[in-house]
Amino acid sequence: MKHFILIVIGLLLMNATARAQDKAPAMPAGELTQRMQQAVPYRLDQTVQTFTKTVHGGVQHVIVKIPENNEAQIRLIQAHLRKTVEQLKKGDFSLTEGVHGKNMPGLTQLKLAEPDDIRYEYKALKNGAQIHYSSEYPQYVQALHEWFVAQSRAHGNAVVPEHERHHSAVTE
C-alpha cells in the first residue's frame, strides 16, 4: 500500500511540475555562464558537462576536453564534485540555486527528500569525475529527471559516447 501511495503522489507531482517547468523563464546564456564560472573552481572553457538520465535518476559528468597535461583541471573538477556530493547529501542545493535560481524544475521536490531518499555517489574518472544520482522513490526519480532536463537545456549536453553506453542499464 505504501508503494501505491508513493506512486500516486509521484504521478501527481510529475503532472504539476511538468506544467510549472514550461513557465520557468530562461536565463540569458551569458549570465548563466558567468554565474557558473563564479560557482566552480575549474575553467568552463576547458571542460564538458553532461547530464544523462537513467532509470533511477541520472549521471552527471564533468570532464576535461583535452586530458593530456591538464591534471590541474582534473583535480579541480574532482575536488568540486566531491564537495558537491557532500553538500547534496546534507540537502544543500545552494550551488544549483546560486547558478539557476530557486525555481529550477525539480529542485523544490529534491529539497523535500530525507537524507536516504536519494543517493549521491561520487566517482573519480581519469579525465574528470561523475556523480550518480539515484532513488527508489518515483517522486524523486521524476524530480531528478526534471532537474537533469533543465540542466541539459541550460548548459547544453555534449555527447560523450563512452559514458552514455554504461549508464543505460535497467539496474541503475
- The length of the chain in residues reads 172
If residue 102 lies in a helix (H) or strand (E), which one and from where to where?
A: none
pTM of the model: 0.75
Partners of 61 in the β-ladder: 50, 130
- Contact in structure between 143 and 17 (CB atoms under 8 Å): yes
pLDDT truncated to tens, each residue of the chain (172 aa)?
Answer: 555 444 434 444 444 444 444 444 455 556 666 766 667 878 888 999 999 999 999 999 999 999 999 999 999 999 999 999 999 999 999 988 877 788 899 999 999 999 899 999 999 999 999 999 999 999 999 999 999 998 888 766 665 545 544 444 444 4
